[in-house]
Structure 1
């Protein structure tokens, strides 16, 4: 028969103390785990707080957390000296794995709610996305700015995952050459040079004001792009190209009520012998334009190489082609391209201007442009 000794043994105080410490440690761990389970956005908030700027002179792509300007003795604190090591900055095919910062820039003359709704739906973590806008000082620009402010206020005070890292709004300090923003007026051939020169000025002002030392990628997204894949950022960056642009189409309704799609942006192209010969006969202040019958260039237009239907079985969305000119409706650029000096020329640059001139300037700096003929974004239909 088994024997159990029921006599009480002497108590060791060190054993009690060790058990107490262990119990407190377990309770603290369980409390921390429980707290995190009730607050799924705690880690996001901490990362945002760690990245927040603490001085008005800090880059605008960082969220700003205002601190007291004076120390306890009453003396005003001097601005900090901050060191940035850009050699450690990456722009890779997997930006999410490296927490790479994306700067989305939009020249905005009209505000479309569909544009903003599409922007908020982007699946790339918004804590790594900064936004920048520039609006004209016109009546339409005032209305667009007011609507934009309302949308920003609603998003930035809404659910934590939808909030962006920072938002910057600029107002143009120059007059727009066109008073009307109607699509027919914007696309008149005689309006192209002054209109696109002004667009270049706006893009450059926005770029050089908002690009910070932590920016890895810049997505130029026009304010009338109302439909894109939610994984737009991940899809474009996955090709790891310095400059890459999707195909921009427009949805419309046929006369019989059938829905259809049609090419919209003709500025993404491969050059032709005819276009080069035409440019050689032009003056230094003249520009080549694409998509006009009065100026046939016979370039290979990316917009004309596909039917524009996302679910066509023979259309591989990762199919890629080299380009000599790019459009700016949804243009992804590694920030180093802009840091090296490639901007949007508001003047004829090799008889090219704005985004097409940018592609030429980037090429002169050693950067190649690429296009995705079967990957689509869609322009608003007026």
Structure 2
């Protein structure tokens, strides 16, 4: 028989205790859930969620990919007919208006010609740059037929060895090695920064060449020679007769001689042979003295050295690596060293003794 239960007592609810318990439970649940989440992220190295990047406004401005097939770049005796690009390069220390006027007279299509200039950071170089830029602006804003395809102006990043550009100072024998080494650096800097993938011909034209035939480029290219140079003379007034006359100017285009080779064999590794000085008689055959009054204008002669007053070069010669050595190269330097380097690469130089260009007379 079941025993009767005693009286049941009901406890009064303690609401404070319930609230504390509820808060404690919520804290435990929050701590456990966030600790697990953090541990999971650490163990799985979950990458953070990133918002998709906004599309750049520059994507549409990216330059196109340009492709060049050098087999399609022609270098022919008919450069105008084949629309071949010509790069005219000029190291410039002084600006001569006659040089620019002669340049504008060239009958080669100007839309196929790119001009490149390099000037020293000197007082004279600054003045030359200002004068050059004025003429370029005038030409490029003028008649369409006179505008050139492009113009590049560079400033040398090294100081010239001579403070004066006077002709007498430039041609002193003791100044030649340093002066021509500096010229080589300027030529190479200009060449390596301007030669284009579509360039067919490079015409080196000194800034003091003030008179050439207007058909200079096509005349020289018609010979189809890798390196070709005309004869450079200088017009002047003869003081004995008072009449206009002309005289040889550039002595760097020559055929080598046994005497010059013997001199070279006795030289030290850093010595160079200089042409046109009585102190160093080489007995080379100089093209400047091969001129014939009634000779054929297109007569060709083989050369071992070339001058750079006006020099047309097939672009492939430069692409092969022929440049202007600023150091003694077989005891030659600058343009003469260039001819020797080109020959070592299999390219030969040609001269035109009866085809003349003219140097400014100071």
Give the TM-score category using the shorter length.
Answer: 0.7 to 0.9
Q: Match for 2:251 among 266, 272, 275?
A: 266
Task: Return the match for 2:328 from 348, 351, 362.
Answer: 348
Q: Please give the secondary structure, in 2, of the residue aligned with 1:277.
A: helix
1:281 aligns with 2:266: yes
Q: Distance in 2 between matches of 1:104 and 1:124?
A: 12
Pairing 1:74–2:57 present: yes
Q: 2 CA distance for matches of 1:277 and 1:177?
A: 30
Matched, 1:294 2:279: yes
Q: Relative to 1, partners in 2 of residues 1:172 and 1:75: Cα closer, same or farther, differing over 3 Å?
A: closer
Structure 2 counterpart SS, 1:161 = coil
Alignment of 1:322 onto 2:307: no
3-state secondary structure, aligned to 1:174: coil
Give structure 1 regions of 4+ aligned residues with deviation exceeding 3 angstroms: none
Taking structure 1 as the reference length, the TM-score comes to: 0.79
Which of residues 133, 143, 154 is equivalent to 2:127?
A: 143
Structure 2 CA distance for aligned equivalents of residues 331 and 377 of structure 1 = 11
User: For residue 207 of structure 2, what is the aligned residue in structure 1?
Assistant: 223
TM-superposed deviation, 1:79: 3.0
TM-score (norm 2): 0.83
Alignment of 1:54-93 (within 5 A): 74-76=57-59, 77-93=61-77
Write the distance in 2 (CA, Å) between the matches of 1:333 and 1:306: 22
User: Which deviates more, 283-292 or 75-84?
Assistant: 75-84
Distance in 2, matches of 1:107 and 1:263, equals: 22
**1:73 Cα deviation after fit:** 7.4
Distance in 2, Cα, partners of 1:101 & 1:323: 26
SS for the counterpart of 2:302 is strand
CA distance in 2, matches of 1:241, 1:334: 8
Aligned to 1:113: 97
Structure 1 match to 2:172? 188
Spell out the pairing of 1:1-382 with structure 2 (5 A cutoff): 74-76=57-59, 77-255=61-239, 256-306=241-291, 312=293, 314-382=294-362
Question: Bigger shift: 279-288 or 254-263?
Answer: 254-263
State the alpha-carbon separation in 1 of the partners of residues 76 and 200 from structure 2: 9
Secondary structure of 2:279's match? Answer: coil
**Aligned residue pairs: how many?**
306
In our comparison, the structure showing a higher alpha carbon Rg is 2
SS at match of 1:104: strand
In the superposition, relative to structure 1, how do residues 75 and 140 fare at CA in structure 2: closer, same or farther (>3 Å)?
A: closer
Unaligned residue ranges in structure 1 (runs of 5+) = 1-71
